[in-house]
Structure formats: C-alpha cells, structure tokens
Amino acid sequence: MNDPAQLKEEIIARLSQVIDPETGADVIRMRLVEDLLVTEDGQVSYTFRPSSPLCPIAVYLAVQIKQTVAAIPGVVKQQILVRDYVQAEELTELINLGG
C-alpha cells in the first residue's frame, strides 16, 4: 500500500519537470494538470487542460504527462480527462488507451 499524500507530492514534483516547449514553463506552474487524486492502491486521476482550445502541442504534452506519471513507483493506473480543447473527447480516449 502507498501513502496517497506522499505519492501525490512525488507526482507533482515529477510533473514540475515536464516543460511546455512553447513557453519554457512546467505543466504544474502553468496549471495544465488539475484535480489530481491518488488512491492507496496507486490509481491516479487528473484533468489535463491544454493552454488553449487549439493548443498545437496538446497531444505531445498529454503523452509526456502520462509517461512521467507512469514512471513513478507506486502508480498502477491513470485516468486522464482532457478539458477545454477542441478535440478533448478524442484526446481523452487516445491518452487513456492501455490504462
């Protein structure tokens, strides 16, 4: 079993190293990841909100965020919701494939 608060802190720390190449700022500082929830059994859910509805690198950032979270020991599954993006439903489906 994991400590959800400690795992959440680790996720935030790691995501603060994911940089938006267009702005040079990290995804945490830009508030692109919201509503982060972590359970004791290592399930993580969060909302990814690209910086604009037409963000040209939304798919790239979503993949980077998912890979970063997946690499953290203790994370067993992710559920990601994409919001405020022109293809939010499609990107949500795509990014959640494979757990």
- pLDDT value, residue 98: 60
Assigned token pair, 92? 């949500």
78 vs 56: CA distance, rounded Å = 23
The number of domains in the chain is 1
pLDDT tens column, 23-81: 999 999 999 999 999 999 999 999 999 999 999 999 999 999 999 999 999 999 999 99
CATH number assigned to the domain comprising residue 81: 3.30.300.130
**Exposure letters 6-31 (e unless 16+ CB within 10 A, then b):** ebbebbeebbeebebeeeeeebbebe
Domain coverage including residue 17: 4-96
